[in-house]
Structure formats: structure tokens, C-alpha cells
Structure 1
């Protein structure tokens, strides 16, 4: 059965951009792009190293807005539209929660290299690995 709602998490990486292109070209259904802004005090952000502050939070949100605007332009190039969302939280948990709360039936995301000691993480990336292992829907990882 073809999906009715595809979620494409974006993080600004080339593989995430490729995942978006793949989704736009492959699926003729509702598409949502999601950028997750990791809390500035989490280990998943530079905030794990640097002091969080309002200026850095605002910069992170501006970056997120630029990512989803770029996604809208990418879709428009092939006469498609995408819905956009920006949320704050742990990336994997937020992706999974968004998918559940919004009736997503397919996730298309980029994979990234990770810890060399764990094969799955090295092949997919830590966020992609978590989403693949925990999502109740089909996940396509673009490499």
C-alpha cells in the first residue's frame, strides 16, 4: 500500500537533502519536512560544549527556518509542496513522536556515520538507527 503521509526529517546534511529529493520524486502524497532543534543544553547540540543563551537559541531557530524554507524551494522545483515543522527536543524521540501524533505512515531520512565500534551506527547514524529500530512505520534510509 502506498503511503498517504511521508515525514522527512532534515538536519542540513547532504544525505538529508538527498532524502528529501528521494521523497519528493518517489511519493505522490502528503509530505512533511521536520527539523528538530536539539536543546542547547543537550549532548546532541553544540550546547553540550558551549553555554546556552538566548542569542544561540535564536540562531538555532533561524537555521531551522532556513532549512525548511530550502526544503519548500526544493519541492517547488518539481511542482510539489511540503508541509513544514520545526520542533525542539531529542532528535530521534521527536521524530518518532511527530510521526505518531501526525499519522505518518512512512519516514524517509538520511543516514550518517557514527561510532566506529558499532556497525549499525556506523552504517546508519545514531538518530537513523534509533528511528529504524523504534518506528512503527516503514523507514527508508537514504545513503
Structure 2
């Protein structure tokens, strides 16, 4: 059965851009584009190494808003509309919360691929792995 509401987490990576392209070209339904800004004081963010500051928070929010606005423009080029939202929190938890709170029945997201060093392997792809293993809906990972 075709989904009625697809969630596309967009982080600015090439694979998340591909996920948006896939969702726009594949599904004729409501599409929500979500960007999650990890708190700068979170352990996995740069805030765990550097002092968090208002300037960096503002820059992160500005980047997030630019990403979702770009997604709106890409959808409009295809005569489609998307709902966009920017949330702050742990990316995997926020995506999973959005699935239940927004009545989403499919997630389309980018994964990681290609040659990576050990650190990148540990840091990249963990969000997609968590969503795939915990989401109560179909998750399509674009690689």
C-alpha cells in the first residue's frame, strides 16, 4: 500500500539530498522535510569539544532553515509542496518522535556509503541504523 505521509530527514549531505529527490519522484502524498539540529552541548556535537555560543547556535539554525527552504524550492520545481520543520534534539530520537507525532507511515533518508575511516564509520550512519531498527514504519535508506 502506498504511503499517505512520508518523512524525509534532511541533513545537508549528498545522500539526504538524494533521499529527498527519491521521495519527490516516487511518492504522490504528503511529504514532510525535517532537519534536526543537535544541541551544541550534546556529546556528539562540536559543542562537546568547543564552548557553545549564541553565534554558533544562530549559525546552526540559519543553516537548518536554509536547508528546508532549499527543499521547498526543489519541491516547487516539481510542482509539489512539502511541509518543513526544524527541530532541536538527538537526531534519531527526534526523527522517531516525528514519525509518531505526525502520523508518518514511511521514512526516506540517506545512509552513508563509500570508503570511510573507522571514526567516520562509527559516527556516520548511526542515525539511519537507529531509525531502521526502531521505527514502527517502513524506512527506505538511500545510498
Same fold by TM-score greater than 0.5: yes
TM-score by length of structure 2 reads 0.92
Q: How does 1:51-130 map to 2 (within 5 A)?
A: 51-113=51-113, 116=118, 125-130=125-130
User: Could you tell me how far apart the structure 2 residues matched to 1:8 and 1:115 are?
Assistant: 27
User: Could you tell me how far apart the structure 2 residues matched to 1:43 and 1:75 are?
Assistant: 34
Moved more, 65-74 or 48-57: 48-57
1:6 match: 6
Cα RMSD of the aligned pairs, angstroms, is 1.7
Q: Does 1:142 align with 2:134?
A: no
Q: Can you list the C-alpha shifts for 1:69-115, whole angstroms capped at 9, x where unaligned?
A: 01011111111110000000000000000111010000000002577
Return structure 1 stretches of 4+ with deviation > 6 angstroms.
none
User: Could you tell me how far apart the structure 2 residues matched to 1:35 and 1:130 are?
Assistant: 16
Structure 2: gaps (5+ residues): none
TM-score by length of structure 1 reads 0.92
Structure 1: gaps (5+ residues): none
1:40 match: 40
User: Could you tell me how far apart the structure 1 residues matched to 2:20 and 2:44 are?
Assistant: 22
